[in-house]
Structure 1
Amino acid sequence: MIFNQAMIDELNLILKFPVDSMLQGIKVHHDAEPDTVAACKRLFDKGIIDQQDGGYLTDLGRDLIEHAKILQFALRHQ
């Protein structure tokens, strides 16, 4: 399976979460890009974030952001 656009939108949103502190999250406002709002809701529905409009990463979300950062690093460098 390849990454479809919805998955890419979700990965991009996960990568926007701060990783320095578990006490920091993000807020996706209702007037944000529709793809971002939809990605945020999907991440919530999957249990990756704790609020429909962002909030904090769950334990699963913290695991995924580590993997996303590794994937981002690997694909950025040759």
Structure 2
Amino acid sequence: MWFLLSACADGGKTVDLYINGPLELLIEIWSGEKEADEAISEEELILTGEPLLAETAKHWFPLSPVARVKKQEGGIAAMIGA
């Protein structure tokens, strides 16, 4: 799995909502290992700005297409019959 991050130039607009958290946490949310609303309520993901946007932000994080795939018990060894 690869993640490409890039920096963008300041567009000169006012920021409505800042979302701050470690990259590892964002990957956990994307992969379905952690719920966005849980990370927000535990203050691991910090939202600063417009209250209405902060209230709805938990719905903005899409899941990976494989996030809902049930993990097989036993991991890779069980999958290959080892």
Write 1 or 2 for the structure with the bigger share of helix: 1
Please tell me whether Structure 1 or Structure 2 has the larger radius of gyration of its CA atoms. 2
TM-score normalized with structure 2 length: 0.28
